[in-house]
Amino acid sequence: MSSFGSRPPDFDLYYAAIDKQTRQTVAVGMSAPGVLADASERTGLPKDCFELRQIRREEWNLFSESDR
């Protein structure tokens, strides 16, 4: 369980890991290293197979809703 509960803290910038081949967002979060680790764990691909990009809260919310 996250110490933040189900709601993200009030930050404006988050990170997204995007698969370099498919160009699909695989994971999002508040920590760049954590997002890459999550993407790698979800797909089984090495971390260097992902592009890291900063995103705004609105994009984080869209991905979080579709991931449920």
Encode pLDDT of 2-56 as tens digits: 334 455 556 678 999 999 999 999 999 889 999 999 999 999 999 999 999 999 8
The reply to whether the predicted model has a pTM over 0.85 is: no
DSSP 4-37: TTTSPPS-SEEEEEEETTT--EEEEES-HHHHHH
Tell how strand 13-19 and strand 25-29 pair up. antiparallel
pLDDT confidence of residue 2: 36
In 3D space, the residue among 54, 68, 67, 63 whose CA is nearest the CA of residue 12 turns out to be 54
pLDDT confidence of residue 66: 66
Residue 1 has pLDDT above 50, yes or no: no
Please tell me the distance from the alpha carbon of residue 22 to that of residue 38, in angstroms, as a whole number: 17
